[in-house]
Amino acid sequence: MQNKKINKGYKLLIGAVIDEPGSSEKNKTGSWRTFIPIIDQEKCIKCGICWMDCPDMAIKKNADGTFAIDYAFCKGCGICAKQCPTKVISMKLEGK
Amino acid sequence: MRKVESAAAAIAEAVKLCDVKVMPMYPITPSTLIPERLSEFVNNGEMDAEMIHVESEHSAASAMIGSILCGARSFTATASQGLALMFEILPIISGLRLPAVMAVANRSLSAPLNIWNDHSDSVSARDQGWIQLYAESAQEALDTTIQAYKIAESGNVLLPVMVCIDGFTLSHVYENIDVPERGEVDKFLPAFAPEYALDPEKPLTFGPIVFPDSFMEFKKAQEEAMENSAKAIAKANNDFGKMFGRKYGNGLVETYRMDDAEHAILGIGTLCTTSRSVVDKLRANKIKAGMIRVRCLRPFPKEDLQKLAKKLKTIAVIDRHISLGFEGALATDVKSALSELRKKPFIACHIAGLGGRDITEKHLEFALKQGMRKKAGGWLL
């Protein structure tokens, strides 16, 4: 019996070697989220602490100095909301 | 070159001949003579290798992962509780498909604390994806270590190999050995050239998480590699025989006086040497006895044993190990392998030689005769 849905399109190399860097970008982890962080851009002071502390590098720096959360990868851990010195990131229940 | 050496020293000679580059070591009785001798080789400049003095056997096995991933042929040696401490790393090495070679000087597992021989350490590790070869003599220990790298590094195998020798009974027993020339070994065993190795110029990921959608495919590939290894073991044994003039059965199984045998003693390691003289004695008394030595426990030589068992009336399996709560693991494997035969020999399963208890000719003769009388096996105390 063959498994059709195999490994999200990755190659099955010996010993599970991955021979191309950057493969973690293919693996979207946003669906793991229970709580979703939302930045109040009006009150944000653009200090960048959320961007620095995000353990998944799911916060991007925009050209105008603002920050945006990449919801394709954000797992909703809430570290950004906890660390934000002005408390402008709120954690809302996903889908509400 | 002729030398008088112990099997442990013979393995060290083989490691030198194989041009091993990294040896993470944490000495433990009765394997200690191996790192002892290897450190002398490094110190004397006879070996251009890195010996890492690690803080535990767990680290020794872990360091081998790093060194092999860097493309360096690697080696370590251990025994007993040392192998037990490595246990977490054993399936990682085999799952990453790293051709490590490790010598195990078989010793009982504590408690009660005991430093002497039985097979409970390596037999307990038989499910972890390592090829397991058991030697019967110091010469075979040397030859098997060289063959082990050849087998492990074969393109359709890429699995680690344990070279097992009976603690003290073999590791510390001095025998006449023939040490091959380095040039000859180089011809038999080319330099290690892995397909994937760590290189800053070409980044790779080793050991990533694998989800349920593909984990089974990787395990199946590992099992196929194990099946391939049976051929690689036979080929290494044959090719080695052609070059150096020494062969050990078909590589997987070695037999003694089995051509017309009706009753056989089946075992692993040095107890087979004693079995040979028991067979001779019984033959002198017109009993058609023979001996089967399982040289390779994993992959298990199922077909070979089926072929040999077809003509037999009795097999006495001698286990230097017990899976507490059931029976010896070798007995389980033998019975399972022969279950498909329409006409099966009577199989008597005995537990013997635990914790360094001598297995004498009396024990083995008794074991076989019990089987010939269709009596179940037991403890050969």
* Equal CATH topology for B2-244 and B253-380: yes
- The domain locations on chain A are 28-93
- Looking at chain B, the whole-number percentage of residues with pLDDT higher than 70 is 100
- The domain locations on chain B are 2-244, 253-380
Give the pLDDT score at A1.
59
Query: Which tokens belong to B250?
Result: 């078909």
Q: Which amino acid, residue A24?
A: S
Does A21 sit within 8 Å of B203, measured CB to CB?
yes
Assign domain B253-380 to a CATH class. Answer: alpha beta
Beta partners for residue B256, in sequence order: B291
Check: CB of residue B312 under 8 Å from CB of residue B345. Answer: yes
Give the pLDDT score at B62.
98
Q: Is the complex ipTM higher than 0.95? A: no
Query: Which tokens belong to A48?
Result: 């960048």
Query: Which tokens belong to B265?
Result: 């003693």
Give the pLDDT score at B190.
97
B→A contacts (Cβ < 8 Å), by residue, are 95-98, 158, 195-196, 203-208, 210-211, 213-214, 216-218, 221
The minimum CA-CA distance between B128 and chain A, rounded to whole Å, is 14
- Return the closest-CA partner of residue B119 out of B294, B322, B316, B264: B322
Assign domain A28-93 to a CATH class. Answer: alpha beta
pLDDT in tens, B166-208: 999 999 999 999 999 999 999 999 999 999 999 999 999 999 9
Please provide the CATH number assigned to the domain covering B2-244. Answer: 3.40.50.970
Q: Please state, in angstroms and rounded to a whole number, the distance separating the CA atoms of residues B80 and B57.
A: 11
Does B208 sit within 8 Å of A16, measured CB to CB?
yes
DSSP readout, A5-69?
A: S-GGG----GGG-B-STTGGGGS--GGG-SEEEEE-TTT-----HHHHH-TT--EEE-TTS-EEE
Check: CB of residue B320 under 8 Å from CB of residue B272. Answer: no
The minimum CA-CA distance between A55 and chain B, rounded to whole Å, is 18
B19: region left, alpha or beta (phi > 0 left; psi from -120 to 50 alpha) = left
Q: Please state, in angstroms and rounded to a whole number, the distance separating the CA atoms of residues B254 and B161.
A: 19
Check: CB of residue B86 under 8 Å from CB of residue B61. Answer: yes
Q: Which of B6-10, B192-196, B272-276 has the lowest mean pLDDT?
A: B192-196
Contacts of B96 in chain A (CB under 8 A): 15-16
Does A5 sit within 8 Å of B218, measured CB to CB?
no
- Return the closest-CA partner of residue B130 out of B103, B91, B164, B104: B91
Between B209 and A53, where is the model more confident? A53
The minimum CA-CA distance between A7 and chain B, rounded to whole Å, is 5
Q: Which amino acid, residue B190?
A: P
In chain A, residues 15-34 whose CB comes closer than 8 Å to chain B: 15-19, 21, 23
A29 phi/psi in degrees, rounded to 5:
-110, 5
Q: Is the bond into A37 cis (omega within 30 degrees of 0)?
A: no
Q: Please state, in angstroms and rounded to a whole number, the distance separating the CA atoms of residues B315 and B259.
A: 15
pTM more than 0.95: no
pLDDT in tens, B287-334: 999 999 999 999 999 999 999 999 999 999 999 999 999 999 999 999
Q: Please state, in angstroms and rounded to a whole number, the distance separating the CA atoms of residues B163 and B357.
A: 22
Beta partners for residue B50, in sequence order: B22
Contacts of A29 in chain B (CB under 8 A): none
pLDDT band at A21 (very low <50, low <70, confident <90, very high): confident
